[in-house]
Amino acid sequence: MNFSVLGINFRTAPVALRERISFAPLAVPAVLLRIRDEFPDLAAVLLSTCNRTELYAAGARVEQYEDRLTDLLLEGAGQAERDETKRHLYRKIDIGAAEHLFAVASGLDSMVVGETEILGQVKQAYALAEEVHTSGPLLAALFQNAFKTAKQVHSLTDINRGRVSVSSIAVEFAEKVFEDLGSKTVLIVGAGETAELSLKSLIERGTRDVLVINRSLERGRVLAESYGGQALPFELLDEYLPRVDIVISSTGAPHIVIGAKAVRRAMEARRGRPVMLIDIAVPRDVDPSAGEIKNVYLYDIDDLRRVADENMLHRQEAARHAWRIVKDATAEAAGLFGNAELRDLLRKIDDYGRGARDAALKKALGRQALAELPEPARESIRALAQRIVNSMLELPREAIKRAAKNGQWEDYARVTGDLFGFGRAEPEEQDDNQDGKKQA
């Protein structure tokens, strides 16, 4: 065994434990260098995000170093904390570790299945290891396979399509209404938390012009200033409605705040330029009949949640297809582990065949009936013997190679060893023994 992952993530431990074994990007190189200094024969990559910290290590003695690596990662924590954190660590080896790496890079092990940020984080972790020369050839091959697998997962499945949070879905709709969010004006009505999340998502997409209307002008001003916007008194809502492109409303008022008539008047003034109304309030702030007006796109909280749920379901269905891709990639990568042993076993099979052929030829050509054959005839017999051995061993060789590719290497290697008697007497010796038994 020569590849393992040792780690902790959001599934196995709460954030209070995860933060004890968390490393900022600037601190990662120092940790890797410590590992390199203490274990010169070990290659390592350290991935540390808000949801996981994982150490990927490759080397002949990686299993022996596990305790020390764990201590190194938990350096600085007290004994009680270490013991508690260790209980939440997980460890995977060889094929299992490779599959885990591919799944992590593809976003299949993420809190939001299919998210793409993790791939960038894995790439960054690998790049940091390369910078300090701790990655090594096996890890290099595995991580490149992981990136390739992640790319396939994201391009061949729907796993990252469709947003799954209410605020990002609102933005997704906005991006299909407006070409350039940066030139649009957003009006926040009410200073609720969800409205602010949606505003943040819009700001990330380039929106700069922000107006805030709130019953409490002071509270509105605080919100507006934090986004470089302007606060307005509530009485100016109808006046400003024609001037804004996106309205996010979450007042918590028990009645309708934006009526259909006001929206209709605003649309006449806008001459058909589209407007998007996001009503996150319960009870609703915007008159539902406003959504029937031409060029008005109204979304309430139920609409956004329904889409979020549909997208999440879709992602989960896509995850099944994505896992098939990861499994296939893992099977292909399995050869990276079995390569040396595979070559050794195939060589042993060839040696066995050669030994059996030589023993049989020696015996046959030594008999009186064939001893006097001319050399061309003897050569033909030797060639025949070689062809027989080749055709008999061809199927087992191919089966071994396929097994290595399909992740069944260990089973096939053990059975092959038993069948051919590797580790027992050589075929020539066995043949003599057989003769001895017959004579007896």
Residues near another protein, by CB under 8 A: 155-158, 161-162, 172-173, 175-180, 270-274, 291, 294-295, 297, 299, 303, 306-307, 310-311, 318
CB of 271 to another protein, least distance (A): 5
| Contact residues for 328 (Cβ-Cβ < 8 A; gap 6+) | none
CB of 296 to another protein, least distance (A): 9
Report the alpha-carbon distance of residue 340 to residue 417 in Å, rounded: 16
DSSP 8-state code for residue 199: H
Closer residue to another protein in complex, CB, 83/180: 180
**Catalytic position from the list 15, 16, 30, 50:** 50
Report the alpha-carbon distance of residue 169 to residue 276 in Å, rounded: 13
Closer residue to another protein in complex, CB, 285/300: 300
Report the alpha-carbon distance of residue 370 to residue 368 in Å, rounded: 6
Tell me which amino acid residue 234 is: F
Cβ–Cβ under 8 Å, residues 54 and 5: yes
Report the alpha-carbon distance of residue 292 to residue 299 in Å, rounded: 12
Closer residue to another protein in complex, CB, 231/298: 298
CB of 160 to another protein, least distance (A): 9
Token pair, residue 124, equals: 């960054």
Closer residue to another protein in complex, CB, 11/273: 273
Mark whether 108 is an active-site residue: no
Report the alpha-carbon distance of residue 203 to residue 171 in Å, rounded: 10
CB of 306 to another protein, least distance (A): 8
Token pair, residue 316, equals: 């989960």
Cβ–Cβ under 8 Å, residues 190 and 223: no
CB of 272 to another protein, least distance (A): 3
Beta bridge partners of 55: 6, 46
Closer residue to another protein in complex, CB, 189/246: 246
Token pair, residue 191, equals: 């200073």
| Contact residues for 77 (Cβ-Cβ < 8 A; gap 6+) | 20, 21, 85
Q: Which residues are catalytic?
A: 50
